[in-house]
Amino acid sequence: MYCKLISFATVDIFCFGFLSVMKKNTSISNLHCKFAEKSWNHTFQLVRRYMEKSRDESKPCEPLVRSLERLQEELQAPTMNNMKCRLEMIAKQQGMGFHFTESTCYLTADFFYLEVLLLPSGEVQEVKVALQGEHPAPSRSLLHLLRSNNFSDFSMRLGELFAQYNIPGDNKTKSKMLKSLQCLWKDLQQISDMPNEPKCFEAQMGLINNGRVGFLMAEKQDYPPSLYFYSSPNDCLKNSELSFEELQEFKPAVQAARATIGVSDLTRKLQMTSLISEAPQLDTQSCPAVAAFSEVSNEMLPTCFLLRLKTPIPVLFHIVERVGQITGVTIPDCDLQWAPLPKLLMKASASAKSPSEPLDGQEIFTVVFPEGGMHTYVLPDSSWDIPTQRATLLASVPFTQPAHVSAVLELLRHQCAFNTLLRSCLTQSASPASVCDLHFEVRPEYTTSISVTFRQPHIDRLAVLLVNIPNARQITCQLFGGGLYDLSTAILDEYISIVLTRCMSIPVAVRALYIRLEKTTSCPITAVAENDRLSPVMDTDGQSPAASQSTAMPEHDGVPGSVCGAVSVSKSELHPEMSASMPDDLHPFVPVAPMANCQS
């Protein structure tokens, strides 16, 4: 009886499913019959009509938008109606208005609009952009995007323009905010036009990394003014001079920001005229002197300026604090999500798409060199998951006057340099070419320094390279280790500092250092040289230095206490192959002693 009931139920389910499929096929057939004689224009009008009936009036219905996009992609031949329909959809997606005459489409916002002139065939003849109160000016870049049917990039560029001029408030407040923003742009241009010292900074890439406001891309109707403020040395060498359009697409290698305006809970005093005189005077920091608000026209407005970063930057907690101290405007903590710096860099890095190999709460990153050879790098979670290494993705910086911009950009450059060095260790190779026998452990020391621990060539002892990054343009290195003799400490430190400053890659610099050490430590050690610097006996309690950075470590004979702690690690904390090679009676670590012929 039970089996019969199951059989009847199975038959019922099968019949129900069959009838459902038949009913669905019948419905589709009916739709085919209904619209078989309808034109494509009628279908477009039907979809657009339903788009206007979206539940959320501020945004079209996404499924309908995708349907219309799919229909338009299938029709390759341009027609006047197709292009109008496509432009109308893009305008609505960006929250802009749209209307058209016989051969011209207008995409409108409060403070700017686009004119798109069409030929009878539907091809785009010209694109013009006009800001409020100004005459329309042709835009070659937007014209190129539409003529090449690159509607996604056109929509993105239009969204950037809309975000730049999407000023909140009533019409009177909006006009005041826009005037204040334009005065800020004028001041930033004035700062950018001032002569820089030294003169070598006049080159484009030199200005990006050293200019007071970076490399300022002046305002154009189709491009908001942009500040390009950081690029790694490798990118500078490859791209010494870029055109305007090339620099816009040169990402993520070049960090850029835009000065715009945003909503604030508090009313703030903002400029209504330029704060920098026509013949600006320099202050003690070689920055232009800015007039006090009491000396110029100003307004109390419910807003503040924003330095909006084109790509959010992972920034340490102490940098966020210093930015707030400079600007006097606190970045709301509710907008920030904190995590260890390496975690944020891994998420932001394209190379992190390849999964790394987990190892007891930490990850191993494999770096493969083009000319052959491999390194593995370990960043222990326990060392980086501490308060001083908390970081957040910073998307924008609020400020109130142009004098803040130079100081903020300098802090961001410092963080970018630190991120560049650390990111160089996070590259993951999906298919290693061979088994790697060189392993390195990277730990944080102070907020501006990191240590790289590795096994010395030819002997079973560890060495530590301390990397200090006091600012974006200065990197100094110090090598510490036991059993390294007849090496000139000062010359070797200077050599590796120059290499790292030029390449901004820890794996490349460490490889150069390792080759030097292989040449100088190939002979067995028999005695300690008389000119060796003394260092404290290494601790053997296995305490991780990063886990107790809040406790001050003493300095011994010029050796930072953090380095003494950095090398005092137990075998269990190191990579297994590094741990296996360590002797039981660990030799006290001493800094590198003099080495001859190091400059070759």
Report the first-to-last Cα separation within the chain, whole angstroms. Answer: 94
> pLDDT of 221-270, one tens digit each?
667 788 999 988 765 544 445 554 555 554 446 899 999 888 888 899 99
pLDDT score recorded for residue 168:
78
> pLDDT of 373-412, one tens digit each?
889 999 998 899 999 999 999 999 999 999 999 999 999 9
Average pLDDT, the chain: 75
Q: Which residue has the tokens 């039981």?
A: 584
SS3 11: helix
Average pLDDT of 476-496? 77
Percentage of the chain modeled with pLDDT above 70: 63
pLDDT score recorded for residue 510:
93
Burial of 242 (0-12, 13-18, 19+ CB in 10 A): middle
What are the chain's domains? 75-166 (3.30.310)
Those residues whose C-beta lies under 8 Å from the C-beta of residue 311, and which sit 6 or more positions away, are 251, 252, 255, 256
Q: Is 164 left (phi over 0), alpha (psi -120 to 50) or beta?
A: alpha
The β-bridge relationship of strands 439-444 and 449-455 is antiparallel
pLDDT score recorded for residue 341:
94
CA atoms within 13 A on the CB side of 424: 20
3-state helix, strand, coil in the chain (%, to 5): 40, 25, 35
228, 258 contact by CB (below 8 A): no
Global pTM? 0.74
309, 257 contact by CB (below 8 A): yes
CA distance linking residue 212 with residue 195, whole number of Å: 10
pLDDT score recorded for residue 441:
94
CA distance linking residue 446 with residue 200, whole number of Å: 32
Name the pLDDT band for 530 (thresholds 50, 70, 90): very low
